[in-house]
Structures are given as C-alpha cells and as structure tokens.
A and B are shown apart, each in its own frame.
Chain A
C-alpha cells in the first residue's frame, strides 16, 4: 500500500515532466531547438527551464525575472498572481508532485550511498537561503540593477539555477554548434554548481528544494493558509514519532503539519500506524478551530 502510493507519486511526477517537455522536435538536429509557440505563454507550476529543447511551457521563476529586468522596470503581476493562486490552493504540493527537478533529485537519492542527515544547527538556518534567493536573486537584483543603457539581468537564471544548466544549457550546447562557441567562465561556474547539486542530491534528500529553490520558498509562504492542508488527529496520535522519522524534509508533522518545508509527499501519512495524519481541503472559516468543529473533512 505504501509502495503503491509512492509509485503513484513517481508516476505523476514523471508523467507531468514528460508531458511538459514533450516538444520532441527541439531535440532533432537542424531545427531551432527552443519551442516558441503559443503554449510558451504559460508557465508550468514547477521549476522547468524555458530553454529546455523539449519545454512546452515557461519557467515561472524565469518569467518573473524577465519581467522584472526589462528596461521599463515592471512588476510581474501575472506570474506572481498565478503562482499565488496555486500556492493558496495547494501550497508546496507542486514541489512534491509536479516538479521535474524535484523528481531528478529524488532519483539521484535512490543511488546507493550513505545518506546524510544535515545537523540541525546547519540545516535550520540554511533553509532561509532560499528566501535570499527569492527576494534578492529573483526579485531585487533583476528589478533594481541596471547597466548604463538601462539593461537588467535575470540574476538567478544567469548565475545560479542548476535546473537551467541541466535542462537548457547542456542540451543546447550538445545540439548546437554555435552555442559551443559561447562557452566561457559563466558556463564553467554554472556547471560546477550543477555538479555540486547532483552530488549533494545523492547524499542529502532534495538539497536544492531545501536550501536554494526560490519557487519552493514562494509556495512555502502559503502553506499555513492553503486550501489543501495536512491535519493531525490529536486523539489518534500516540506520539510514536514515526512520521517525523520518516519525513525526509525534516518536518515533524505532529508539531508543524503545515510547515513551509513540507512538500506534501504523503510519506508521513502512509507511515502513521494510527492514521492520525491526513490531507484535507478546508473551508475558509474553519481556520483555527478544533478538529471536531467546522472543518469539512474530505480526505484526499
């Protein structure tokens, strides 16, 4: 049962990843490798590089920066609104189910190797790094920094994002001669970051999601108020701690079921011997009332 649930999630992650990168033509020689048709106007909900030859949709983080860094400084209302809507409905569910790069990290973690639990003294403060990425690299620098001729830059995409290196940079360089001529120090830097991310993912579960991802940071802001949320049945819980032990994002569902670090993978729900944990859709008014009152419980 637990295995089936985990397999279902992998299936959804993989299926969605393939569906949103199904532009096979981009990988064939001779054609311009990046799809620029009408679907590109839409952002996928997870991290997925616009420049991936197969990508049918745009990256929300990339799109945000592209609007922020324009000569006429503009706020990305459309993209931020779209992401906020998703966050309000499902919080970080996208991270656990609809993000291809999340899947890639999980697959890397499956490689047999000693698994490291980062000590809390490092892990807890480092989780805030993703907010630095979000507010500084994705928003502030692209929005405010301008060159002499009014030119801005997408700082996160340009200097940090390993998703872009993996899905965009490397395939484009392999597919296109002209691209190869442009390689310089920046590509080497981004490639190094990607290698570090890949290596870290073998030993640590989803390190990019935990420490770097600005999109995860953004969705995390909505976890406490999202419609789809986690609930602990205090009466059923026997405090065995199995949920906290199972959680690979280092969340303790007993204390903080709607932590901004939870990616809604449901492994804790599956692990609980007393079925005390569940994901529910809640009504607006039921905010902080006890479980018995006012919450329409529709277990997903």
Chain B
C-alpha cells in the first residue's frame, strides 16, 4: 500500500470518527441553563445547591409536584433505579425498611425509575411488579423530560438527597450501599433546620 493511500485512508477514518463522536443523545450536554436571578437557579446538573423543580407522575398514576413532595420532609432521599438493574432491585426491600425508620425522624425515601417515562409506560408494568415483589410502598416517580440533566446518572442505583425546598445536599452516592445512605441521611437530618 502506498503511503498516500494509507494517509488518505487514515484521514477518512479520522473524519468518520469525529462525525460519529458528534452524534450523541440530546441532553448529554452538561449545559448550564441559568434562570433569572431569583429563588430558583438551575446550575449544572446534579451539583450540591441546585434546586429541583419538576412535575411528574408516580407509578400509581398520581400526579406529583416536587415542591409539595419535598416540603413534607426535612430530607428526602431520591433513589434512582431501573427495572433491568439487578443491584437496584436487590436493595429495595431494605430501602422499604429504612424508609419507615427515616419517617420517624422527618426523612423519607422516594424512588425514581429511570426507564419508566411519563410519556412512555412500556416498562411501567414491570416496575410495578418489582415494587410489589419487593414490598416497596413508598412513592416511586416516573422519569420526566430533562430529569437526566438535573439528576445525572452514570449508572444505577444513584442516590441523591434534597432538603425540604428541593435543594440538593451533598454528593450523589453511586452503587447499592444502604449503609452509606443511612449514614448520610443521619448526617443531613442532624444538619437540617
């Protein structure tokens, strides 16, 4: 193969690669959309201090408003899971127990099923089966458009904590680690005003 052929072939491969690199899922841009200066500023997704504000539906079909949801507790733990995620499902029974304990202290767990969407309930039945098999009674939310930007997830389960105004506290926890959740929940509850 002549050098020229190799070089042009390599250039072609590089071009192709760059083009493909440009293709990506919409919303994977970690952009910051700054709202008007005021009480609700959405900064970069998932960061401490970001305020969440959304409307969605739970797995029983009930509409959910984030303000009303979070105002009920001093600290709410948002556990993001998926219907095909083994470790997520594995920890659900323990989370149900933990939720009851948290309730005594002003905390709560809320689930977010990241493959059950408000406008696409393909896996809703599966999610409901899993929740009933594992005995979970706490609220589980369906994913809404843009939730991956405000609550970014590298893998599931990912767990976030918010205060009563929906402001994110601390760093997300990646991986099924109920002991860590409990530890953080205690810490945040003691700091909560």
B17 x A70 contact (CB < 8 A): no
Q: Does A196 contact B (CB under 8 A)?
A: no
Q: Does A181 contact B (CB under 8 A)?
A: yes
Chain A positions within 8 Å of B18 at CB level: 22, 24
A178 x B158 contact (CB < 8 A): yes
Number of A-B contacts (CB under 8 A): 93
Chain A positions within 8 Å of B93 at CB level: 149
A31 x B86 contact (CB < 8 A): no
CA distance A15 to B130 in the complex (A): 44
Q: How far is the CB of B154 from chain A (nearest CB, A)?
A: 6
User: Which A-chain residue is minimally distant from B93 (CB atoms)?
Assistant: A149
Chain A positions within 8 Å of B83 at CB level: 71
Chain B positions within 8 Å of A287 at CB level: none
Per-residue CB proximity of B65-87 to A under 8 Å, as 1/0?
A: 00000000000000000011010
Pick the interface stretch among A76-84, A122-130, A150-158, A221-229. Answer: A150-158
Chain B positions within 8 Å of A114 at CB level: none
User: Which A-chain residue is minimally distant from B175 (CB atoms)?
Assistant: A182
A39 x B20 contact (CB < 8 A): yes
Per-residue CB proximity of B14-55 to A under 8 Å, as 1/0?
A: 001110110111001110000000000000100000000000
A69 x B20 contact (CB < 8 A): no
A35 x B24 contact (CB < 8 A): yes
Q: Does A176 contact B (CB under 8 A)?
A: yes
Contacts of A1-59 to chain B: CB distance below 8 A: 4, 8, 11, 15, 18-19, 22-25, 30-37, 39, 56
Pick the interface stretch among B104-112, B138-146, B166-174. Answer: B166-174
Q: How far is the CB of B90 from chain A (nearest CB, A)?
A: 6
CA distance A70 to B84 in the complex (A): 7
Q: Does A161 contact B (CB under 8 A)?
A: no
A31 x B30 contact (CB < 8 A): yes
B23 x A152 contact (CB < 8 A): no
Q: Does A292 contact B (CB under 8 A)?
A: no
Q: Does A177 contact B (CB under 8 A)?
A: yes
Q: A33-B154, A172-B154 are in contact. Are A152 and B86 (CB under 8 A)?
A: yes
A150 x B154 contact (CB < 8 A): no
Chain B positions within 8 Å of A22 at CB level: 16-18, 20-21
Sort chain A's interface into a size bin: 35 or more
A15, A66, A177 pick with most chain B CB within 10 angstroms: A15
User: Which B-chain residue is minimally distant from A178 (CB atoms)?
Assistant: B174
Q: Does B179 contact A (CB under 8 A)?
A: no
Q: Does A147 contact B (CB under 8 A)?
A: yes
Q: Does B192 contact A (CB under 8 A)?
A: no
Q: A149-B130, A178-B154, A179-B154 are in contact. Are A18 and B17 (CB under 8 A)?
A: yes
Chain A positions within 8 Å of B154 at CB level: 32-34, 172, 176, 178-179
Q: How far is the CB of A138 from chain B (nearest CB, A)?
A: 16
- Could you tell me which A residues sit within 8 Å of B by CB distance? 4, 8, 11, 15, 18-19, 22-25, 30-37, 39, 56, 66, 69-71, 147, 149-153, 172, 176-179, 181-182
What would 16 A/B residue contacts be, using CB atoms closer than 8 Å?
A15-B13, A19-B17, A22-B18, A22-B20, A23-B24, A24-B17, A25-B24, A25-B28, A32-B28, A66-B84, A70-B84, A71-B126, A176-B174, A178-B172, A179-B154, A181-B175
Given contacts A15-B13, A19-B17, A182-B177, 13 further A-B pairs with CB under 8 A are: A22-B20, A24-B17, A25-B21, A25-B28, A30-B30, A32-B153, A33-B154, A147-B86, A149-B93, A149-B133, A178-B154, A181-B175, A181-B180
- Could you tell me which B residues sit within 8 Å of A by CB distance? 1, 6, 9-10, 13, 16-18, 20-21, 23-25, 28-30, 44, 83-84, 86, 89-90, 92-93, 126, 130, 133-134, 148, 152-155, 158, 171-175, 177, 180
